[in-house]
Structure 1
Amino acid sequence: MKTELYKKKKKYLHNGKNDGFRKIQPPVFAAIDLGTTNCRLLVAAPTPHSFSVKETFSRITKLGEGLVTSGELSERAMKRTVSALKLCAKKLEKYKPEKVRFVATEACRRALNGADFIKRVKEETGLSLEIISFEEECRLAVAGCVPLINRNIRHALVFDIGGGSTEISWAKIDEAGRVKLEGMLSFPLGVITVSEAFTGKGLSSAGYRAVVRKVRSYLEPFEAEHSILEAIEQGDVQMIGTSGTVTTIGAFHLDLPYYNRSAVDGLALSFDDLAKAKRRLEKLPYAEKVAHPCIGPQRADLSLAGCAILQGICDMWPIGEVTVADRGLREGLLLDLIRSGNGRVVGKAEHEK
């Protein structure tokens, strides 16, 4: 990105009319994060230190529904997702972004027909998605969470509980505040895969404990490799959670009358707060979860599955507090586009579709 855009002296361009000159508008960038549960769009323009949001869109599509059983993306799930992506494409027409990057994660990585679905999306929406590795997913998620990292702490443990998998990132922060990834882990437990493994409208107590144990079994080799507990004992680790599970728990804990990103993003939740929220969720009848403004019908059957995965992480690494991040991969994509010039330049023909 050219630094001239950020100079205090404003640049103007003659518009060919008698009213003189118009201000040059900064370029617009766009990112799509297509996960196992959600489809998310972010459109933004660069600012001196970050970006200014022009438009956001998020829809629960449950693309990975039934994937564990069949090994493939179902027709119903693909139709829901294509419908959401068509809305994204329509929104993008208004902004004509200069550079874009649209990515798909675990569901498309795992599905036998994942590549075919990417072709279908291109044919039906005009959007070019790329299936990224879990390592790239971790890198981008951490990049999106950097504004929430406490620069006085030397390590960050960032987790993302998705629909089909959970990613863990272990990062070191140097004295200049630079973040370096030192370890990444992905394991095949997410809110959809766990909820589908247990029939009904929620987990039994035994099922919940089984999920917690399974999560720990995936985390123990990662702990052995990176000695995270030693850093925790020194009070030198910040835990950050970026996922619908954590943001939902945050909003539920605050008893918000409706979901409010500004109240949730950056919220510090103690492990006691998490435990209390989990107990309240357990007691809440399914119909009340559906009606709850911060849970709703799309997450009612996923909330306890997310809590079980979260508890497994917290039990493994008893930091005592988690920072809630209503940001992550999507924001990381945008920052990457702005700072490094990655992404695909959109041609005129694509804008005119």
Structure 2
Amino acid sequence: MSRIAAIDLGTNTVRIMVAERNGESFEQIFSDQVITRLGEGSHENGKLAPEAMKRTTEGVTGLVRSAEPFRPFKLFITATSAARDASNTGALDAMIHSATGVRLRIIPWEEEARLSLLGAKMVVGDDIGRFILFDIGGGSTEYILSAGDGKPQAAGTNLGVVRLAETYITKHPVVDNEYNDMMKEINATVDRAFTDIRAKGDETLVGTAGTVTSLAAIALRLVEYSPAKVNGYRLTKKVVEELRRKLFAMTLEERGRISHISGGREDLIVPGIGIILATMKRFGADSLIVSDYGIREGLILDIFATEANG
């Protein structure tokens, strides 16, 4: 099959891409996303909420309908942290299968890290040298050290923006005591990740996923989001700090008027910024390279490579 559609069910966002093989890479035919907050409340009892599963199933079917004009393609549906950690993922699989005819593939965090790295390398290239990719998700954040001379070192953490927002942040504008309590957990976890991947502190930092790309889009003053304009953008600590002060002083309604964080990210941008700043501080980086490409693009590359070798 030369054309595939890959859907990634994240803890917060469901994303689809239809792609066609182009040599060892691919051409994007169509992409879209919808925020369904699959992981809402799941950290409290270890289960996906029925309403969250319903929203996500409806989100998946809506995205598949949107992709219909681009058939024929083979459909793949994967899920990460929220589905991976929940005890009732079988119910979600049954709902997705009933709606689409496709079984859900749950990706272990080590595989999630590998695929994210594969996708990000499409942006940074092979000549970047030692770099650290961090992927901020709704249910987890992964850190991957790529030295280019062996197996990447990866560390998975439970720093998910959905859980952190639900656990710590109750007031908007953000109040210092809630933010400081959250940062104690974030800083301790980032410290462990730094040690686990044996970082030296002189690597290039690359960030992917919604918080990083949203901040880049705001900094670039984009009217409409553009992966091509965001990919490779260098986001500085100074700009992140400026956006932190600006966004934290807003109500949820005020943040909702900013197109790049509206529709479900208004509260999640708070822990996302916290993770970025803690990561930049611990890894000794004054800036990071932004990658819109991540697990979804890595999955597509992996599928095409597997079929080519199969």
Q: Give the TM-score taking structure 2 as reference length.
A: 0.92
- CA offsets 1:171-217 (integer angstroms, 9 cap, x no match): 1124xxxxx54211111121110110122346422222232231222
Q: What is the one-letter code of the residue matched to 1:267?
A: Y
Higher mean displacement: 125-134 or 90-99: 90-99
- Secondary structure of the 2:200 match is helix
Aligned residue runs from structure 1 range 54-93, under 5 A:
54-93=29-68
Residue in structure 1 matched with residue 147 of structure 2 by the alignment: 172
Alignment counterpart, residue 288 of structure 1, candidates 254, 275, 287:
254
Q: How many percent identity over aligned positions?
A: 30
Q: For residue 34 of structure 1, what is the aligned residue in structure 2?
A: 9
1:273 maps onto 2:239 in alignment: yes
Which of the residues 281, 302, 306 maps onto 1:340? 306
Aligned residue type for 1:258:
E
**1:212-227 to 2 correspondence within 5 Å?**
212-227=183-198
Q: 1:192: which partner in 2?
A: 162
In structure 2, what residue type is equivalent to 1:189? L
Cα separation, partners in 2 of 1:125 and 1:110, compared to 1, 3 Å = same
Return closer, same or farther for 1:112/1:252 CA change in 2, 3 Å cut-off. same
Gaps of 5+ in 1: 1-25, 175-179, 346-353
Q: 1:306 aligns with which of 250, 253, 272?
A: 272
Q: Do residues 250 (structure 1) and 216 (structure 2) align? A: yes
Deviation at 1:90, TM superposition (A): 2.7
2-structure distance, mates of 1:328, 1:138? 9
Secondary structure of 1:192 counterpart: helix
Kindly state the Cα deviation for residue 314 of structure 1 after the two structures are TM-superposed: 1.4
> Partners in 1 of 2:59 and 2:258 — Cα distance?
23
Q: Is the 8 A contact 1:202 1:305 kept in 2?
A: no
Task: For 1:109-258, list aligned pairs within 5 A.
Answer: 109-149=84-124, 151-174=126-149, 180-198=150-168, 199-201=170-172, 203-230=174-201, 232=202, 237-258=203-224
SS at match of 2:259: coil
TM-score (norm 1): 0.81
Change (3 A) 1:140 1:228: same
Count how many residue pairs are aligned between Structure 1 and Structure 2.
309
Secondary structure of the residue aligned to 2:152 is: strand
- Cα shift readout 1:68-111 (whole Å, capped 9, x = no counterpart): 12321111111110111112333454444554432101001111
Larger radius of gyration: 1
Alignment partner of 1:326 is 2:292: yes
Shift of 1:341: 1.9
Closer/same/farther in 2, CA of residues 342 and 217 from structure 1, 3 Å limit: farther
Q: CA shift at 1:294, angstroms? A: 1.6
Q: Distance in 2 between matches of 1:88 and 1:125?
A: 11
Q: Considering only aligned residues, what root-mean-square deviation do their CA atoms show, in Å?
A: 2.2
